[in-house]
Structure 1
Amino acid sequence: MLIHAPAHSNQQPHLHPKLSWRPESGERHRGARTNCIGASDLPNNDTSLGEQTMNHSQEKTRARLDSEADFHDARINTPDEHRLGYVYRSVADVYAFCTPPDEVMCGSILELGCFRGDEALALRDRGFSGRYAGIDISPASIEHCQHLGLPAGMTFSVDDANVMETVEDASVNYAFGNGVLHHLDLPRFAPVLARKLATRGRARFIEPAQGNLPLRLFRRLTPALRTPDEHPFDNDSIALLRRHFQVIVRHKALLRPILPMLAFNSHAAVRLASKLDERLLRLRFLQDQAWLLQIELAPRAV
């Protein structure tokens, strides 16, 4: 979990996906793990090839969910903002893109990947009076959020963002998430979100792109900071979203975070890198080198 450094926070963006257990159960339900072969594992002439393929797919999905949940359960009590906050400090303005705007402060807000509940706390402090739902794949995250003492109109559930079974159709005025989509099964997720958004609803996300060579090298050298199944957003991912939404993409952070870090993230270095990023990323041939994508989604016109 759902990457998080919005303008009102110095915390690191959190990266986490949302996946699939029923929230009312209060715990994850997993199949037994064993190295033994039972009768159910033996070939069955009555089982069709299609059923076998489906079972294999379900097992892979379950394994992926378990892996994601375990990763983010372990992170909930890790002060990772101190570990990577220095890297994200120069792009706090980029992450502010997802902050819910004033016009939805009385509406219905859905956060994909609520993690420690930082955004919910910020909404409360802004006087939020609508309905907020935070979902996350991590049971530890949801338990943490449920003990924050937030108003009754702000709820948290373990849920799968590829399914969103706790969210009513056509009920969401504003959905958002930081570093969530690149963990998800986009062909499943996109039509579900399109169904959950209200007629004039919209969604905003910050996602990591492939980035330039130094950033790709950083990813290769730090595999423990990511889950095995996540993948940077690319043009194919954007094309898939366009099948279901009107999509606006803004490319951000070309020289950031590296240039400011070389100058100890001084205000002058951050300002200079931000201005250079804005100018350089107007050039299409450089956009594929950007680190971050601001993605805005709206329902397609009927």
Structure 2
Amino acid sequence: MIPIGISSGHSSPSTHPPHTLLAADIGGTKSNLALYKYDGSKLALTKEEKYPTKDFKGPNALIEKFLGSEAIPDRICLGVAGPVQDGKAKITNVHWEMDAAQLSAQFDNHPVFIVNDLEANAYGLATLEQIDIHSLHTGHPQKGNIALISPGTGLGEAGLFWDGTHYFPFATEGGHSDFSPITELDDDLLVYLRRKFGHVSWERVLSGPGIVNIFNFLKEERDMDAPGWLLDRMAVHDVAAEISENGDTVAICVETMRIFFRYLATEAGNLALKAKATGGIYIGGGIVPKNVKKIDYGAFMKAFREKGRMKPLLEDIPVQIILNEKTALTGAAWYAINKC
């Protein structure tokens, strides 16, 4: 396990830990909630549900629906897809505003914490076992910072600062930084996306919607054939999922996923340099763990480390894929346990 501390100074469980915890991973598309019991050393999952986020008017309604007749837990921690400031947040892809103090008042003044969802994922690294990790590149890790990149409904990025004893997670909004083309195809894609969106961020190509953007570019601008049966399925099923599921058989889907993983490697390398992540890069989110077998290791690592004079530094950085889909939930629970 990775030794992770809390910025208030706590790096180990509280001397009076909570017994019950509600953890949530609230995104623009779906929200995952879980109840845990904590015995002072281990978390035990007692209830878990998944809901469409847009079916609710706000987090209080979502929590009430999830709890039902359950007692209010000792502590609540919400990981949310968006920037968090002073316990307040707005979700990036849905019109929700939330305030930890107001939510606490609505739930009998039990402590409520709000953290960025990628920050929650970063805290979740403290709960993972080796079985939860797939090593893409072992490298030569050194004691130093760690970075986390997670393509899903959006693109999340976070860091973990190493102070010599513990790691301290911090959130970023790096997924919204400018997409940077490298090849002529990238140049053309940037022009195509700029016409549609104006500002083109990495999230426009590294996310579920980003997969769709790449696919549409190949179909509309590169005249790649999209079989009729595939378009029929896309009309009634999740488009990005259909593309990835056919990413090893249908030519346009194969090319879409090839470009997606090249971009993921490129931006992961960018993040590794910006954070000087000598302790490793972790790749999370819902897309990559389901498509591990589609990753061309050689092409991925070439794109990851092709940074000119910094290539030797990147060659030593481990690249790990997080397989455990509950990392954000266990991270939120871990935060709630350790935060006073």
Structures share fold, TM-score greater than 0.5:
no
Which structure's residues are more often strand, by fraction? 2
